[in-house]
Amino acid sequence: MIGFLTRAMERKEKIMIYYMDSKGKVSQRIIRVVGIDDEKVLAYCYYRKQVRSFKLENILSCGQVKRSVGA
């Protein structure tokens, strides 16, 4: 997962994460990673429209944002 987050940061790509907050609630977020350290990911959250920090241990999964193809 760290490798995926690092590549997304280097490429400045939007990614989707599933995140569990401190109360155990799971949410889906679209983010752009700004920085990574041993415990946290600093990222712009498109849901909250601000830079947020996410604990690495609470990120359940991450992946690319699916893009729809227009006709």
Would 11 be classed as within a structural domain? Answer: yes
Would 69 be classed as within a structural domain? Answer: no
- pLDDT tens column, 3-62: 999 999 999 999 999 999 999 999 999 999 999 999 999 999 999 999 999 999 999 999
pTM of the model: 0.85
CA 5, CA 55: separation in Å to the nearest integer?
Answer: 13
Would 17 be classed as within a structural domain? Answer: yes
Number of domains composing the chain: 1
CA 57, CA 5: separation in Å to the nearest integer?
Answer: 13
State how far Cα 54 lies from the chain centre: 8
> Which residue range is the domain that position 59 belongs to?
2-63
Would 71 be classed as within a structural domain? Answer: no
**Pair of tokens at residue 38:** 């041993």
| CATH code where residue 24 lies | 2.30.30.100
